């Protein structure tokens, strides 16, 4: 096992990668994947599996992911385990160098996949120290860089980190959404069968607004019995209603919900006036909160992982969930007709809401998992079931 370079150590011999935070802190390591540099918010993710799904999650646009699990890359990559057509996270920071894949489904190693998609990796970092830094000091802005020759201009990298404006106030949904309306086909994946074919017959029609959606959300909507059409983030009310939806879905996505809400909230408010069932996840949950008069706020470190406990207030049950968000809905700002349905057991923040006077609900976490537990898949059945009624 290779030794990790201490977080504040001088440049060691053979270093081909570096992380420079806006505070001036520097961590040296071994680069892999693409060469170059990328600037964004440095966060950490606690999932032990699913690094390919995490890297391709559009919600990670503008972010550099520190994986707390030390062995990343050991099962390689394949074309099935993706949540978008390409990675959206800027890069990854890991403890151990990625090894040759040891899995019968692997089609490529992680290093080659990162290089192909122009994403930077940094290994040999003391990820425990970096995670503590994020937990105590908040998610910092930083630059991740890789040079095979080991040549870096730290002053330039520091200026990049300091000059990056941060995620607060940034609308990233426009950068990751699809450009045109499309129909979604295919259900969830099963070993030995691949992605399930859509059953024939009449299905309730869900129109999903893509603010940076994960594929597995649509797969689970299909599995629950829906026909799914997907529209871009800036689709108008008239464009959505022209598709004759039985229900509306608001997807996950990156960036500041208040910035995306400038164009999304008025449309959601019009959709609420139709009394059609509506279901939101992650950014969709935050945008719904804004649409009903609530507020959102930037979190100190955010929630990112596949082991987040959430309490369901209706019966006290605890769901272990997958989360990926850096903003939260302020429960104190919610109107009288909004009920809080779920609460994070890590910090008590809001994790779900529903409206008392219409079939509308949302959750802050990812019930589709991928990666993560499947405790919350029932929410897709609940939503599609409301369309059938």
Q: Cα separation of 273 and 342, whole Å?
A: 25
Residues 45, 282, 303, 354: which is the catalytic one? Answer: 282
Q: Cα separation of 186 and 4, whole Å?
A: 43
Q: What percent of the chain has pLDDT over 70?
A: 97
- Which residues 6+ apart lie within 8 Å of 109 measured at CB? 73, 76, 77, 98, 100, 101
Q: Cα separation of 164 and 278, whole Å?
A: 36
Judged against a pLDDT cut of 80, whether residue 8 lies above it is answered with no
**Structure confidence at residue 2 (pLDDT):** 44
Q: How many CA atoms lie within 13 A of 44 on its CB side?
A: 24
Over the stretch 42-54, which tens digit does the pLDDT of each residue have? 999 999 999 999 9
**Structure confidence at residue 389 (pLDDT):** 60
Judged against a pLDDT cut of 70, whether residue 303 lies above it is answered with yes
pTM, rounded to two decimals: 0.95
Q: Cα separation of 47 and 65, whole Å?
A: 11
**Structure confidence at residue 201 (pLDDT):** 74
Over the stretch 24-71, which tens digit does the pLDDT of each residue have? 999 999 999 999 999 999 999 999 999 999 999 999 999 999 999 999
Residues 88, 285, 303, 366: which is the catalytic one? Answer: 366
Q: All domains of the chain, ordered by start, with CATH? A: 17-163 (3.50.30.20), 173-388 (3.40.50.880)
Over the stretch 144-159, which tens digit does the pLDDT of each residue have? 999 999 999 999 999 9
Q: Cα separation of 328 and 313, whole Å?
A: 18
**Structure confidence at residue 369 (pLDDT):** 87
Q: Is 37 a catalytic residue?
A: no
Q: Is 282 a catalytic residue?
A: yes
**Structure confidence at residue 192 (pLDDT):** 85
Mean pLDDT, the chain, as a whole number? 95
Strand 141-146 versus strand 17-21 pairing type: antiparallel
Q: Is 43 a catalytic residue?
A: no
Judged against a pLDDT cut of 90, whether residue 1 lies above it is answered with no
Residues 53, 319, 354, 368: which is the catalytic one? Answer: 368
- The closest of 115, 90, 111 to 37, measured between CA atoms, is 90
């Amino acid at each position: 096992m290779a030794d990790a370079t201490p977080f504040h150590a001088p440049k060691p011999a053979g270093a081909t990668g570096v992380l420079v935070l806006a505070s001036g802190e520097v961590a040296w390591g071994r680069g892999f994947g693409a060469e170059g540099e990328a600037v964004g918010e440095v966060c950490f993710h606690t999932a032990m599996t699913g690094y390919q799904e995490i890297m391709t999650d559009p919600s990670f646009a503008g972010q550099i992911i520190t994986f707390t699990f030390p062995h990343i890359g050991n099962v390689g990559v394949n074309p099935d385990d993706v949540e978008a057509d390409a990675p959206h996270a800027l890069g990854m920071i890991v403890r151990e160098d990625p090894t040759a894949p040891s899995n019968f489904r692997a089609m490529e190693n992680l290093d080659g996949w990162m290089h192909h998609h122009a994403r930077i990796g940094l290994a040999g970092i003391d990820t425990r120290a970096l995670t503590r830094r994020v937990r105590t000091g908040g998610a910092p802005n930083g630059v991740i860089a890789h040079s095979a020759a080991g040549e870096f201009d730290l002053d330039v990298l520091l200026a990049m980190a300091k000059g990056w404006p941060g995620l607060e106030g940034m609308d990233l949904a426009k950068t990751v959404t699809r450009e045109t309306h499309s129909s979604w086909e295919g259900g969830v994946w099963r070993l030995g069968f691949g992605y399930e074919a859509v059953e024939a017959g009449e299905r309730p029609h869900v129109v999903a607004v893509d603010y940076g959606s994960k594929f597995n959300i649509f797969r689970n909507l299909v599995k629950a019995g829906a026909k799914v059409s997907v529209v871009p983030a800036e689709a108008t009310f008239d464009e959505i209603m022209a598709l004759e939806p039985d229900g509306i879905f608001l997807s996950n996505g990156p960036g500041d919900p208040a910035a995306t809400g400038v164009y999304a909230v008025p449309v959601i408010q019009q959709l609420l006036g139709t009394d059609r069932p509506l279901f939101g996840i992650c950014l969709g949950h935050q945008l719904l909160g804004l649409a009903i008069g609530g507020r959102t706020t930037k979190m100190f470190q955010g929630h990112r992982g596949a082991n987040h406990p959430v309490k369901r207030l209706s019966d006290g049950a605890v769901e272990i969930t997958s989360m990926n968000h850096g903003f939260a809905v302020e429960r104190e700002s919610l109107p009288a007709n909004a009920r809080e349905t779920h609460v994070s057991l890590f910090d008590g923040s809001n994790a779900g809401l529903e409206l008392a006077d219409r079939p509308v609900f949302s959750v802050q976490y990812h019930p589709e998992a991928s990666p993560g537990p499947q405790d919350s898949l029932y929410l897709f059945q609940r939503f599609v079931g409301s369309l059938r009624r």
